């Protein structure tokens, strides 16, 4: 990757982006283990909401103003809440363990705190 490309896609250097990618990877692995009927309903929804976290960080990084970046970070935080609600629903219906839920919750809380810290800087 050249220096120019790296600056163009600055989100690739952000820890919050890398951490949100890691959470998505773990959720994807979890969804792959769900029963088929659940995988294609709430499984798809939790994947969409977790992907939305990543995509809004990336999209916001390409915006021209801090105000716009902040708006996309807010959308990412909303997607974190949606992801947690999906995971909680999977937990309450016996599709994931408490340990898996708590592990993912901790990682999502970290991403949320990182986004909050970014927003304070803006």
- Longest distance between any two alpha carbons in the chain, whole Å: 48
Check if the beta carbon of residue 111 is closer than 8 Å to that of residue 23. Answer: yes
Please list, residue by residue across 78-100, b when 16 or more beta carbons sit within 10 angstroms of its beta carbon and e when fewer do: ebbebbbebbeebbeeebbeeeb
Task: Judge whether 62 lies within some domain.
Answer: yes
Q: Assess if residue 4 is contained within a domain.
A: no
Which class for 13: exposed (0-12), middle (13-18), buried (19 or more C-beta within 10 A)?
Answer: exposed
- Position 7 in a domain: no
- State the pTM of this model: 0.91
Per-residue pLDDT of the chain (122 residues; tens, 9 = 90+): 344 455 789 999 999 999 999 999 999 999 999 999 999 999 999 999 999 999 999 999 998 888 999 999 999 999 999 999 999 999 999 999 999 999 999 999 999 999 999 878 86
Residue 5 lies in a domain: no
Q: Per the domain annotation, does 58 fall within a domain?
A: yes
Residue 77 maps to which CATH number? 1.20.1440.60
Domain holding 83, by residue range, is 14-121
Number of domains in the chain: 1
Is residue 24 included in any domain, yes or no? yes
């Amino acid at each position: 990757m050249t220096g120019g490309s790296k600056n163009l896609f600055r989100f690739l250097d952000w820890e919050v982006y890398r951490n949100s990618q890691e959470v998505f990877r773990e959720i994807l692995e979890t969804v792959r283990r769900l029963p088929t009927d659940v995988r294609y309903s709430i499984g798809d929804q939790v994947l969409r909401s977790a992907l939305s976290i990543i995509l809004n960080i990336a999209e916001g990084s390409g915006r021209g103003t801090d105000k716009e970046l902040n708006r996309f970070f807010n959308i990412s935080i909303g997607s974190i809440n949606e992801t947690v609600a999906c995971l909680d629903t999977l937990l309450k219906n016996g599709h994931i363990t408490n340990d898996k839920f708590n592990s993912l919750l901790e990682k999502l809380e970290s991403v949320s705190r990182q986004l909050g810290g970014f927003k304070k800087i803006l």
